[in-house]
């Protein structure tokens, strides 16, 4: 069967129940990523690494020290298997799919419904790189290259662009919005932000919107 492209998606897991099966360093990384997204995380494992134990004691996660059982899937919105036992990982996938729950298995692409990309974060801006689980090292290398291209100034750019968007939609004719939004995120603004000249950047962005709104022409 021909390989199909992945459907790229960012999930809002805030307040959602997610399960991690496994208690080692790989499971720890998965747990930390879920917690950063606001998920409510349960961890099932006979043994747990020190950090997971601390998170359990602090009630940041629900840590259950025993082997996985299919009943652990009840109420879960997403499941990650990260044990060192291939049979257990395969069982988690089989059980999760039977219940219609999306599942990821560390280092086993064939058992995955989704893949965890290498991600560059700049505030609310996220750039994700996926190789469909075939080469995490390549995804990481590309992410590292992107770090030099997209610096912290992009977080400031996003924040200001988001603040300008609602009033710009109100003020601008529909036919002018796309051009104005491209201009306020363009190289002139980025250069100012990169130089630490945030006030000048904000003024330039506001001026771009003002000029677009005042330009003669029929409103749509």
For the stretch 21-44, pLDDT in tens is: 999 999 999 999 999 999 999 999
Domain segments of the chain as ranges: 17-116, 117-150, 153-214
Residue 112 has pLDDT above 60, yes or no: yes
Residue 217 has pLDDT above 70, yes or no: no
For the stretch 40-82, pLDDT in tens is: 999 999 999 999 999 999 999 999 999 999 999 999 999 999 9
pTM for this predicted structure = 0.86
Question: 17-116 architecture in CATH?
Answer: 3-Layer(aba) Sandwich (3.40)
Confidence bin at 218 (pLDDT 50/70/90): low
The DSSP code sequence of 134-196 is S-HHHHHHHHHHHHHHS-THHHHHHHHHHHHHHHHHHHS-HHHHHHHHHHHTSHHHHHHHHTT
Range list of β-strands (E), the chain: 17-21, 40-44, 62-64, 78-81, 102-105, 118-122, 125-129
Q: What is the mean pLDDT of the chain?
A: 95
The pLDDT of residue 97: 98
């Amino acid at each position: 069967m021909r390989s199909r492209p992945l459907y790229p998606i960012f999930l809002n897991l805030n307040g959602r129940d997610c399960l991690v099966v496994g208690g080692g360093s790989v499971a720890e990384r998965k747990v930390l990523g879920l917690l950063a997204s606001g998920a409510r995380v349960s961890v099932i494992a006979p043994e747990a690494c020190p950090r997971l134990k601390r998170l359990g004691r602090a009630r940041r996660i629900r840590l259950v020290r025993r082997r996985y059982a299919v009943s652990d899937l009840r109420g879960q919105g997403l499941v990650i298997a990260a044990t060192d036992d291939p049979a257990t990982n395969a069982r988690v996938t089989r059980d999760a799919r039977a219940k219609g729950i999306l599942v990821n298995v560390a280092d086993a692409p064939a058992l995955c419904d989704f893949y965890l990309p290498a991600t560059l974060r700049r505030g609310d801006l996220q750039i994700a790189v996926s190789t469909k689980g075939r080469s995490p090292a390549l995804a990481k290398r590309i992410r590292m290259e992107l770090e030099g291209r997209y610096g912290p100034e992009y977080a400031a750019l996003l924040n200001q662009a988001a603040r300008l968007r609602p009033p710009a939609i109100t003020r601008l004719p529909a036919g002018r919005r796309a051009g104005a939004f491209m201009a306020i995120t363009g190289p002139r603004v980025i250069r100012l932000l990169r130089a630490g000249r945030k006030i000048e950047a904000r003024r330039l962005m506001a001026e771009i919107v003002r000029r677009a709104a005042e330009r003669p022409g029929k409103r749509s």
